[in-house]
Amino acid sequence: MQVQIAVIDFGSQYTQLIVRRVRELGYFAKLFQPSELPSVGQPVAVILSGGPRSVTEIDAPDIDYAFLETLNVPVLGICYGMQLLNLKHGGEVAPSHSREYGPAQLEPTESTGLFAKLSDSSQIWMSHSDTVSNLPENTKVLGKNQEGIPVALSWRKGWYGIQFHPEVTHSHEGTQVLRNFLEMTNDPPRFEIQSFRDETIAALKAEIGDREVICGVSGGVDSTVLAVLLNRAGSNVRPIFVDNGLLRKGESDQVVESFKQLGLEIERVDARDRFLQALAGEDEPERKRHIIGNLFLDVFWDAAKDVQLLAQGTLYPDVIESATSGSIASRIKTHHNRVDRILELQKEGRVLEPLAELFKDEVRALGKSLDIPDEMLFRHPFPGPGLAVRVPGEITKDRLKIVREADAVFIGNLRKHGWYDKVWQAYAALLPVRTVGVKGDERSYEHAIALRAVVSEDAMTADWVELPHALLRESSNTILNTVAGVNRVFYDISTKPPASIELE
């Protein structure tokens, strides 16, 4: 698709959110590095992101300002972007007396243009240590904070700068600010998932022809949408499902059955014993992940044999964060020939990544347009290493069984009480301790289980969910009475950060 909005990345932690928000408003946006500005094509608007550096530094990130002017389109600078534009127009930027990070109030000085349909005062989110100290001639102040300091400027028609971050939810009317800016383009929104679906299917048909396409599937959202998309393109698709023995209760059969209902036969590879043997005696978290990742590739390639085309469920955040476009090769940190094979296929142009321009929520929307059931599209995230990250210490059949049974009870109760779709991710984990309890007339010395339920937008941060006490009580009682080897249940109320979402 032709880029409508070019977002120039100066390194802000929120940059991906800008792209997401713009797409949510119906415009196709993509991220570019400052050096890539001359290659953005002909966008209808440009947004300059925030960033951690100071524009006053000698080697601070810069843009080709002369080229930006030749585009003759609206420009919005956010935080660092605003300060950079102020410098380019002849103004000055100086260090603030103190870093401003957190909520502030926006008080617009006009109710049209960029700030149309906004309240007289609304919360905004700041994150900066520099400030504009001198405004160029003819600069118009569009808004101030509660202390009367300018936080929104316009240097000329269509060129704007705002000190706050409209892309984060903490800026309560930030989406409206972005909408107002985009409406200045006189270009209607063109990012519709149905159009993307049709264009992608047509492109896949042309590229694949009669060649066989191999793809790995797990039952997760990305690989499911990928396989169905390939199938709709009429390709000779061969989905391979590796059962590593680290899945949830009944999950292996459930994945096979779910794909059957979608008209896809998947090839299940039973590698449960191989993974357990490889993990025997290993208790170091990173080492376990390394073993699982490498063995998965071994098993996958053993099953795949001669590959004509390989399809991967790479998403846009992977492309942004990885020099190798988010492929398996970029995620498994090893120089083994397991990865070399993927890299060789990439060099030969035999790797397909049809989801590489989408965010996770857009993949779900694409899945809905492909008539994939909601229970497959909206199932909770599940980590690549599976239950290995929920069983600290050595992985054994007995310990996996305890976690599976406890998890099934907890997830079952979330569904029963209508809470499954209200939380982002939930699970039961085995704590690396044994505790004293009483069962019957005897003392017991058994395992402890931790239940966890969190809400999150992007997994970067997460907050625990205040589940009803009755639901937690029922889950605890059922686990204690039906799961052998458990005599204590905890509820994890840690946020991320400082804790992680998973246990390991």
Contact 47, 8 (CB under 8 A): yes
Q: Are residues 11 and 138 in the same domain?
A: yes
Judged by DSSP in three states, 478 sits in: helix
3-state secondary structure 234-254: CCEEEEEEEECCCCCCCHHHH
Bridge partners for 455 per DSSP: 463
Residues belonging to the active site: 79, 165, 167
User: What's residue 97's pLDDT?
Assistant: 58
Overall domain count for the chain: 3
Domain boundary among 344, 377, 410: 377
Give CA–CA dist 151/260, Å, rounded. 56
Q: Are residues 329 and 455 in the same domain?
A: no
Give CA–CA dist 232/252, Å, rounded. 24
Judged by DSSP in three states, 427 sits in: strand
Q: Are residues 59 and 171 in the same domain?
A: yes
Q: Are residues 64 and 167 in the same domain?
A: yes
In a domain, 382, yes or no: no
In a domain, 498, yes or no: no
CA angle 448, 449, 451 (to 5 degrees): 150
Q: Are residues 354 and 476 in the same domain?
A: no
User: What's residue 476's pLDDT?
Assistant: 97
Tokens 């992608």 correspond to 200
**Both tokens of residue 252?**
């292996």
Nearest C-alpha neighbor of 286 from the set 504, 66, 81: 504
Domain boundary among 349, 377, 405: 377
Angle between helix axes 272-279 and 285-304 (nearest 10 degrees) is 150
Give CA–CA dist 146/164, Å, rounded. 13
Q: Are residues 451 and 321 in the same domain?
A: no
What lies within 8 Å, CB to CB, of 219 at 6+ separation is: 241, 251, 254, 255, 258, 376, 379, 382
Q: Are residues 411 and 373 in the same domain?
A: no
Q: Are residues 35 and 156 in the same domain?
A: yes
Q: In what order do the strands lie in the sheet with 75-78?
A: 29-32, 5-8, 45-48, 75-78, 159-162, 150-156, 140-144, 92-108, 122-134
**Both tokens of residue 355?**
């989801």
Domain with 373, as residue range(s), is 193-377
In a domain, 501, yes or no: no
User: What's residue 331's pLDDT?
Assistant: 37
Domain boundary among 165, 183, 201: 183
CATH number for position 174: 3.40.50.880
Give CA–CA dist 378/221, Å, rounded. 7
- Cis, peptide link before residue 354, omega less than 30° from 0: no
Q: Are residues 45 and 131 in the same domain?
A: yes
CATH number for position 418: 3.30.300.10
Q: Are residues 333 and 226 in the same domain?
A: yes
Give CA–CA dist 53/139, Å, rounded. 24
Element (H, E) at 490: strand 486-491
User: What's residue 126's pLDDT?
Assistant: 84
User: What's residue 339's pLDDT?
Assistant: 65
Number of H helices and E strands in the chain, helices first, is 16, 18
Phi/psi of residue 22, nearest 5 degrees? -65, -40
Give CA–CA dist 351/314, Å, rounded. 11
In a domain, 386, yes or no: no
Contact 367, 228 (CB under 8 A): yes
In a domain, 385, yes or no: no
Contact 202, 371 (CB under 8 A): no
pLDDT (tens place) for every residue of the chain, 504 residues total: 678 999 999 988 788 889 989 999 999 998 999 999 888 889 999 999 998 888 888 888 999 999 999 999 999 999 999 999 999 998 888 776 555 567 889 999 988 899 999 999 999 988 756 778 888 888 999 999 888 888 999 999 999 999 999 998 889 999 999 999 999 998 888 888 998 899 999 999 999 999 999 999 999 999 999 999 999 998 899 999 999 999 999 999 999 999 999 999 999 999 999 999 999 999 999 999 999 999 999 999 999 988 899 999 888 877 766 532 333 333 333 333 456 777 888 888 889 999 988 888 899 999 999 999 999 999 998 988 999 999 999 999 999 999 999 999 999 999 999 999 999 999 999 999 888 887 766 788 899 999 999 998 767 778 999 999 999 999 999 999 999 999 999 999 999 888 889 988
Nearest C-alpha neighbor of 101 from the set 153, 52, 159: 52
Residue 434: exposure state from Cβ atoms within 10 A (0-12, 13-18, ≥19):
middle
Contact 71, 43 (CB under 8 A): yes
Q: Are residues 371 and 460 in the same domain?
A: no
Q: What is the DSSP letter of 336?
A: S
User: What's residue 328's pLDDT?
Assistant: 33
Give CA–CA dist 372/197, Å, rounded. 13
